[in-house]
Amino acid sequence: MRPLRLGVNVDHIATVRQARGTAYPDPVAGALLAAANGADSITIHLREDRRHIQDHDLARLTPVCPVPINLEMAVTSAMVDIGVAAKPKYVCLVPERREERTTEGGLDVAGNLPVVSEACERLAAAGCIVALFIAADPIQLAAAKASGAPQLEIHTGHYADTTGAEQAAELARIAAFARDAEAMGFEVHAGHGLNVDNVGPIAAIPEIVELNIGHAIIARSLFIGLPAAIAEIRAAMAAARPTA
Ligand code: PXP
């Protein structure tokens, strides 16, 4: 089995900071701690409403982060300008507004192909490797191919929010989608809503080479600390995927 990388999303360290307008807890310090304790990359989402990560977090993290930065952003020219200037190794384009989303919550690439393609082109020209965050939907897969993005992140939110037969059906859909996406030449990632209890079946899908996990790791770290929370999720990944 191929190795499975873990990207740790530190947005919600900033959520706690922003709740009080303090300088702590610092997501940059959290990113450095995560990188020293098993994170293969650091994911941050600079939202248009700046509800958690701020521009200065990206500016402070960029020169010191010892692992690649994966910058999540909306598909707007202002956000793409920021990505082009900051040049993170990875950019993941995500939906923020309702009209940019498919029913499952991923980016509606098919409905916004010209603007998504232009963003991919500008970010690639700046040296960023671009992923599209999409639902496991064949219509979005075909559009993603046309956009020129080399990577896809499968939205696992519906999988995480369901149980029983509905969850099993979504898992099967994700597994088939990952196979098709890899066959089309994409590098395949997954994320959203994953935790120690539900990560196993996703980690077992062999075409998926990276998981991006945030909320559950940061929440768990309140009780056991960030290094132990990362170790716990890595152990759950490794149990499902022995090379992880
Ligand atoms: N991947 C992407 C593209 C995301 O937008 C998010 C959440 O913002 C995540 C992964 C992480 O999701 P969670 O915080 O639920 O683990």
pLDDT in tens, 172-206: 999 999 999 999 999 999 999 999 999 999 999 99
Write the pLDDT tens digit of every residue in 124-141: 999 999 999 999 999 999
Q: Which of 6, 45, 48, 49 is nearest to 27 (CA)?
A: 45
Decide if 168 contacts 143 (C-beta within 8 A).
Answer: no
Q: Which residues pair with 71 in a beta bridge?
A: 44, 91
* Confidence check: pLDDT of 108 > 60: yes
Which of 16, 45, 109 is the best mutation target for the ligand 1 pocket, counting ligand atoms within 8 Å of the beta carbon and taking the most? 45
* Confidence check: pLDDT of 1 > 90: no
Residue 215 falls in the annotated catalytic set: no
Write the pLDDT tens digit of every residue in 150-174: 999 999 999 999 999 999 999 999 9
Residue with CA nearest ligand 1 atom 6: 192
Taking the model in full, what pTM does it have? Answer: 0.97
In terms of phi and psi (left: phi > 0; alpha: psi -120 to 50; beta: otherwise), the region of 99 is alpha
pLDDT band at 244 (very low <50, low <70, confident <90, very high): low
* Confidence check: pLDDT of 35 > 60: yes
